[in-house]
Amino acid sequence: MEGDPRAALQQLAQSCAECRRCSLAEARQQVVVSRGNPRAALMVIGEGPGAQEDASGSPFVGRAGQLLDRMLESVGIDSNRDAYICNVVKCRPPENRKPTLQEMTACLPWLQQQVELVQPQVLLLAGATAVEGVLGIKGGITRLRGQWQRWQGRWCLPIFHPSYLLRNPSREPETPKWHTWQDLKAVRDRLEQLRAAPEATVDSSGDP
Ligand code: URA
Ligand code: URA
């Protein structure tokens, strides 16, 4: 297949397994690189691995990941078939603390390579930390969620982190979960639109 990224991604996973660019390497069990489809049009980017991810080596497999899967499924997106899932940092921060800016910066070249190899058309940024790590915008996920951005010529949508939704389970209108569901429907519609009328994935201008 033309431009099949699998071999290069395997190489990348091997390099990640040996990475010592930050101190998160010291306590990790496994480097958590990705799951899902490396040719998917959708890339989901979370914050970093938790305990279950650290133990299994796959991102978003714990309770938050299961909620993410169910919510994607409810808009017709199969997380392993239709998405490529990864995180801003690839190693578990101790006690699940937020990764530092230094850790995110050290890890960002790996994510950058993943984006270049997978060539997603739409990036879903789960939570304020992913927004900060990728877009460099700090805080205000309540304001930013649901607002389409362009990043390196790709569509990019911040959403609430599924862990936050686990703590806020109401589906009533205007609740975080309800908003996330609207956001995911917008993602599905965007992906359908792009399939119907493909555009160049990356603008030559790079402008928003
Ligand atoms: N939370 C994240 O941000 N990423 C994971 O992989 C798991 C939980
Ligand atoms: N279905 C709903 O009605 N709400 C959600 O948040 C997810 C799926």
141 belongs to a structural domain: yes
CA of 171 to the centre of ligand 2 (A): 6
pLDDT in tens, 69-123: 999 999 999 999 999 999 999 999 999 999 999 999 999 999 999 999 999 999 9
204 belongs to a structural domain: no
What was the pLDDT predicted at 202?
A: 61
Residue 60 · residue 35 · CB < 8 Å: yes
Which atom of ligand 2 lies nearest, measured to the CA of 165?
6
Average pLDDT, the chain: 95
Query: 59 CB under 6 A from ligand 1?
Result: yes
Range of the domain at 108: 7-197
Task: Look up tokens 């995911």; give the residue.
Answer: 184
Average pLDDT over residues 17-34: 98
119 belongs to a structural domain: yes
Average pLDDT over residues 34-45: 98
Residue 194, pLDDT > 80, answer: yes
Its pTM surpasses 0.85: yes
CA of 148 to the centre of ligand 2 (A): 21
Q: Cα 117 to chain center, whole Å?
A: 15
CATH number of the domain encompassing residue 131: 3.40.470.10
Pocket-testing residue among 34, 44, 53, 61, ligand 1, by greatest number of atoms within 8 A of Cβ: 53
Per-position DSSP letters for 14-30, written without gaps between them: HHHHT--SSTHHHH-SS
